[in-house]
Amino acid sequence: MTTNVQEKSTETGEVRALHSAALSGDTVPDRVLLAPWGQVESTHGSFIVDDEAARMTVEAFEEHGTDLPIDYEHQTLGGTYASPTGKAPAAGWVKRLASEPGVGLVAEIEWTDQAVKTLAAKEYRYLSPVAIIRKSDRKLVAIHSAALTNKPAIVGMEPIVNSADADSSLDDHDPLTALRSELGLADDSDPNTVLIAAGRQLVDLRSDARKRHVDELIREAMRAGKLVEAQRSWAEALAAREEGLFDEWLRSAPVVVAPGTTVAPCGVDTHESRRHSAAARARSEFRTNPALLALTTEEAYVEDALREVPC
């Protein structure tokens, strides 16, 4: 494949030279965040790094079976990136690529001796991946190579290499110092380690917030008399997986208990209400679980659920 422009379209995707990871000037890191998690905004266009994208990218790296090259200013791509001498010396090699959910794709790198000297001298500050992006949904599917560069393109990615006068000690207001303290990391933890740890904590915080939100949805449904304790596990799973379907069920579900109670009295009207609720719940379960299609039909699944309705 010949890539002689900054952005190249293929039948299924695009090859883009992007700039994401910043490098430390004092201690050259051997683990670097190559592509951050989520919707990544770049001056060359946006792309997505999620569970599927990370899996595909790691699988592509492992199937390739060789280390990915790291060069200078994308000279390996040739064309407008080619050096005047025509040479494209390696700065290092990506030995391993791993997914850190909520953080991004992390590369383990073996640097050349010259690159170590160059980075220690603060001549380069960023690591830029050449990303292969699927056109249909803008998801990252592979990394072609990477390069040392001083031209960041990913929006919001702050450089973390020490500046020219960075030999002076950092004060207490330095963001990295504050993050190290907040995360309980050692004072000499390199910036990439700090970013990865912060990303993991952010994932945990989001997970806790999501759980609290689901708990509140369940409490509201029970206060409205549309959900009983025996349905809690099912309702929690549905709300966590498909909140829209849970809201749809809640809108159509009848009141089966008096608000503030957990057990409905028996009676003809109550029995019909329970049957209606059980049918709605069964249809939601069937439509959100594709595996059931291989076992039964929706109507048979609903009929089976109605046989379990008490009273």
pLDDT digits (tens, 9 = 90+) for 74-103: 877 777 766 677 778 888 999 999 999 988
Contact status, residue 74 vs residue 149, Cβ threshold 8 Å: yes
Contact status, residue 61 vs residue 68, Cβ threshold 8 Å: yes
Contact status, residue 78 vs residue 71, Cβ threshold 8 Å: no
pLDDT band at 175 (very low <50, low <70, confident <90, very high): low
Identify the bridge partners of residue 36 per DSSP, sorted by sequence position: 104
Q: How far apart are CA 311 and CA 298, in angstroms?
A: 24
Above 50 in pLDDT, residue 119? yes
Which residue is associated with the tokens 């072609």?
144
Average pLDDT over the chain, rounded to whole? Answer: 75
pLDDT band at 153 (very low <50, low <70, confident <90, very high): low
Contact status, residue 119 vs residue 149, Cβ threshold 8 Å: no
Above 70 in pLDDT, residue 118? yes
Ramachandran class of 83: left when φ > 0, alpha when ψ lies in -120 to 50, beta otherwise: beta
Q: How far apart are CA 140 and CA 152, in angstroms?
A: 18
pLDDT digits (tens, 9 = 90+) for 204-228: 777 877 888 888 888 888 888 888 8
Which residue is associated with the tokens 């046989």?
307
pLDDT digits (tens, 9 = 90+) for 231-269: 888 888 888 888 888 888 888 888 876 655 444 455 545
What residues contact 61, with CB distance under 8 A and at least 6 apart? 68, 94, 97, 142, 143
pLDDT digits (tens, 9 = 90+) for 4-63: 334 444 444 554 444 445 554 457 788 888 888 888 877 667 889 999 999 999 999 998
Question: What is the rounded average pLDDT of the residues 113-139?
Answer: 85
Identify the bridge partners of residue 102 per DSSP, sorted by sequence position: none
Q: How far apart are CA 105 and CA 91, in angstroms?
A: 20
Q: Which two tokens stand for residue 192?
A: 């990439």
Q: Which amino acid is at 106?
A: V
pLDDT higher at 262 or 118? 118
Question: What is the rounded average pLDDT of the residues 60-69?
Answer: 89
Question: pLDDT value at position 161?
Answer: 41
Above 80 in pLDDT, residue 123? yes
Contact status, residue 271 vs residue 254, Cβ threshold 8 Å: no
Q: Which amino acid is at 216?
A: E
- What are the CA-CA distances from residue 141 to residues 34, 134, 277 (Å)? 14, 6, 43
Question: pLDDT value at position 83?
Answer: 67
Contact status, residue 130 vs residue 17, Cβ threshold 8 Å: yes
Question: Which pTM was predicted?
Answer: 0.47
Task: Write the DSSP assignment of the chain as a string of letters.
Answer: ----SSEEE-SSEEEEE---EE--SSS--SEEEEEESEEE-BTT--EEESHHHHHHHHHHHHHH-SPEEEEETTGGG-GGG--TTS-----EEEEEEEEETTTEEEEEEEE-HHHHHHHHTTS--EEEEEEEEETTT-BEEEEEEEEEES---BTT----S--TTTTSPP-TT-HHHHHHHHHT--TT--HHHHHHHHHHHHHHHHHHHHHHHHHHHHHHHHHTTS--GGGHHHHHHHHHH-HHHHHHHHHHPPP-S-TT-S-PPPSHHHHHHHHHHHHHHHHHHHHT-GGGGGT--HHHHHHHHHTT---
Taken in order 181, 185, 191, 194, the sign of the CA dihedral is: negative
Question: What is the rounded average pLDDT of the residues 117-141?
Answer: 84
pLDDT higher at 159 or 199? 199
